[in-house]
Every structure is written in structure tokens, then in C-alpha cells.
Amino acid sequence: MSARQRGMYIPEIYKNENPEQIRAFIKANSFGIFITNKDGVSLATHIPLEYAQKESGTEILHAHISKANEQCAHIIDGGEVLCIFNGPHSYVSSSWYDFEEVPTWNYIAVHVRGKLTILDQEGLWSSVKTLMQTYEDKQENPVRMENLSEETLRQMNGIIGFEVAISSIEAAYKLSQNRDDKNHTAVVHQLKNTGCPQEIAIAEEMEKLRGNKK
């Protein structure tokens, strides 16, 4: 993983450089934001961006967007793109500390940059099939691409597939690492007491990270 001057701002204390943990996060939070820039115009689309590793060891994200999406004009071989993956996040009130401080926000976010390649029809088919299998395998009656009618599969003509060869990954895990055990525990307690799934998820990530350092 590389940090670049024009990359995400991450104070050193909040950087996560654990490859396994970051890649697991991307897979678990694959509905990301696909961002391109062309001629000074930035466009973004919310789509599933699936992580994979080729036999050569190259790490990629593969995805597709509708041909009706104006962002298709940005889809060119060799173009650089940015993909953002967000995890749980939560407001942290400074009233939870035993000292005076300003409020803040805890969150997990990963930025992935890479070079784009347009997929041919075979590659598009493989990408969509892999995407479906990833999520359909969890269903009681999974839908299989090979079982879909020709009429339904004609919808494939309306999308463009691509893959992104990953060149850099930056991960920010802002989880109250700068707080002592007493105040860290107080934040976890307050977040869990909200009963909100997102706040509870952040509290659990805080506990997990602090536990890994003990």
C-alpha cells in the first residue's frame, strides 16, 4: 500500500496498514463510490465494486455501469479512477470524556486508486456472473445467470463492464486511538447505549482495535 501526496488525508495514528484486514473490509463493504475525472469534470456512481486477485497476483476491482450513465464518457482504457468504500461511522460527543475537548467523528473509510480497463463481452459476462454468485449463494433459491432467459440476458447489452488494476490503497480507521483506556471505554459504552446499529458497529470496531494492541 502506498500513501501519495494527493491521496486521502489520514493522520498517522489513524492509518491502517494491515493488508488482510483492509481487503476483508473492502469485500464486506463492496457497495462503493466509483469516481472519475475528465476535462475538469468529476462524476461519481454508487455501485458494487468487487475485489479479486488474478493468477498473476494483480489485485483488481471489477464492476459495471449502465450505458445510459453519463459517466460512460469517462470510461477509457488506462484512465485513473478513485473508488471509495465506507464503513460504519458515528458522532462522538466530547461530553463523554472526563476532560474538556471538542466533539469529533469516528469512522472507517478506504480509498482505492487504479488504472481502468474496459471488459470485452466475455469479461463482462464473467464479472456479472461472479457478482451474482457472491450474493445469490446466500439466498434460499439462488438465481443462476446461466438459467436466465435470452430476453432477460439482453439487458447485458445496456451495461459496460470494467476492471480497475489497483495501484494504491489507503485506509483510515479513526476509532479513538488517541484516548486513554478510561475515555475509550466511556465512548464505547455511550455508543452501545444508543441502540443504533451503526453506533454499535463503531463501538465494536473500537473494542476490536484496542484489543489487538493489548
Write the CA distances from 178 to 70, 105, 172, 175, integer angstroms.
43, 13, 14, 8
Q: What is the pLDDT of residue 212?
A: 58
H or E segment and range at residue 152: helix 150-153
Q: What is the pLDDT of residue 141?
A: 94
How far does CA 100 lie from the centroid of its chain? 34
Q: Is the pLDDT of residue 181 over 60?
A: yes
Q: What is the pLDDT of residue 6?
A: 65
Q: What is the pLDDT of residue 211?
A: 86
Determine contact, residues 34/83, Cβ cutoff 8 Å: yes
Q: Is the pLDDT of residue 214 over 90?
A: no
Distance in angstroms between the alpha carbons of the first and the last residue of the chain: 25
What single letter denotes the amino acid at residue 83?
A: C
Band (3; pLDDT cuts 50, 70, 90): very low
Average confidence score pLDDT of the chain: 94
Residue 67: count of CB within 10 angstroms of its CB: 11
Q: Which phi and psi (to 5°) does residue 143 adopt?
A: -85, 130
Between β-strands 159-174 and 41-48, what pairing exists: parallel, antiparallel or unpaired?
Answer: unpaired
Domain chopping of the chain, boundaries: 12-175
Band (4; pLDDT cuts 50, 70, 90): very low
On whether the 12-175 domain is CATH 3.40.50.2300, my answer is no
Band (108; pLDDT cuts 50, 70, 90): very high
Q: How many CA atoms lie within 13 A of 18 on its CB side?
A: 11
Q: Is the pLDDT of residue 27 over 70?
A: yes
